[in-house]
Amino acid sequence: MPKPLVSILVICFNQENFIRQALLSALEQDYENLEVVVADDASSDATRDVIADLKKKYSNRLVSMLGDINLGITGNSNRGLAVCQGKYIAMMGGDDVMLPDKIKKQVAWLDDDRDRVLCGHDVEWVDFRGLNLNIKSSDMIPMSSGIGAGGIIRYGPPFAATSVMIRSSRIPEYGFNPQLPVISDWKMWIDIVSIDGVYGYIEGVYAQYRRHDGNVTGHYSYKLFRDQLMTCLLSLKHFRGHYLGDWMRYFWCGILRKIISRNEG
């Protein structure tokens, strides 16, 4: 049987120094039935020139969505998501890097069970030059698996966003929730897993997360807290209060972590 189509959604904004490596790491994945959709959020640097140059060589594999209006992270993500045709969709930022075998390993995991809807893996952190920082995402939040969104709410997102592949049939009609302008991916994972979806991970490191001054979520802010709180309220409304206990535990544990860190400081 032919392998299912996979879409890799790459979102970018003013990432001229990183976008070529990011796109090449996706375009050159060892998986035949693949499209790479890059959504540029009206960049003002040379990002678009790099995309146009790669489009000449990978015209059959690269789909470019070049926005004329800056929509922000969530709006731009939905701009690209709207044209993704794959049965499965993987996502990454325009400054991150996919490592070899990522796509085929995750497809195999999802194909093994139709109830599996979201797959992650470990990610190593690198600096702006690409040098390894000797940090993995699992060092901070252990990866986990389960059925239903309770665990994803209770302990927070179990995977780095750039590691996730999802089953597109489970994406809500609105895509990334437009009421969450900065961190809408957490709500997306909750929506996809819902009450009955299975989530899990493949062993190994299959992507690099680039840490630099331009990271939007690099520093905690009011905007991030607002989106966390809105994610809670929106999901409680969506699931009619089903996950109230899990949300209470999430915020209570967050308060305890802050108290402990202050005492240790």
Other Cβ atoms within 10 Å of 195 Cβ, number: 11
Chain Cα centroid distance, residue 43: 20
Compute the C-alpha angle 122/114/207, nearest 5°.
15
Q: Say if 129 falls within a structural domain.
A: yes
Residue 131 has pLDDT above 90, yes or no: yes
Tens of pLDDT, residue by residue over 29-76, are: 999 999 999 999 999 999 999 999 999 999 999 999 999 999 999 999
CA 177 to chain centre: 14
Q: Output the pTM of the full model.
A: 0.92
> CA distances (Å), 31 to each of 47, 75, 151, in order?
26, 29, 31
Count of structural domains within the chain = 1
Residue 28 is which amino acid? E
Domain membership flag for residue 102: yes
What CATH number is attached to the domain comprising 214?
A: 3.90.550.10
Span 172-201, mean pLDDT? Answer: 96
pLDDT tens readout for residues 191-245 = 999 999 999 999 999 999 998 665 555 455 788 889 999 999 999 999 999 999 9
Strands 132-136 and 146-147: unpaired
Percent of the chain with pLDDT over 90: 86
What's the mean per-residue pLDDT of the chain? Answer: 93
pLDDT tens digits for range 111-120? 999 999 999 9
CB–CB of 62/54 below 8 Å? Answer: yes
Tell me the residue range of the domain where 50 lies: 6-264
Residue 222: predicted pLDDT: 82
Q: Is there a domain that residue 162 lies in?
A: yes
Q: Quick one: pLDDT at residue 247?
A: 96
Residue 192 in domain:
yes
**Residue indicated by tokens 């009450």:** 195
Answer yes or no: is 1 within a domain: no
